[in-house]
Amino acid sequence: MSLWGHGPTAREQRILDMHAENISAADIAAELDVKPGYVKYVVDTLHRPALEDWQTPAAKASGDLVAALRRHHPERCLAT
The model's pTM is 0.57
Q: Does one domain contain both 23 and 59?
A: no
Q: Does one domain contain both 22 and 57?
A: no
Residue 1 CB neighbours (<10 A): 12
Residue 11 CB neighbours (<10 A): 12
Q: Does one domain contain both 13 and 39?
A: yes
Q: Does one domain contain both 39 and 60?
A: no
Q: What is the pLDDT along the chain (80 residues), one digit of tens a residue?
A: 555 567 789 999 999 999 999 999 999 999 999 999 999 999 998 887 655 667 778 888 888 888 898 888 888 877 65
Q: Does one domain contain both 1 and 37?
A: yes
**Calpha distance 17→24 (Å, rounded):** 12
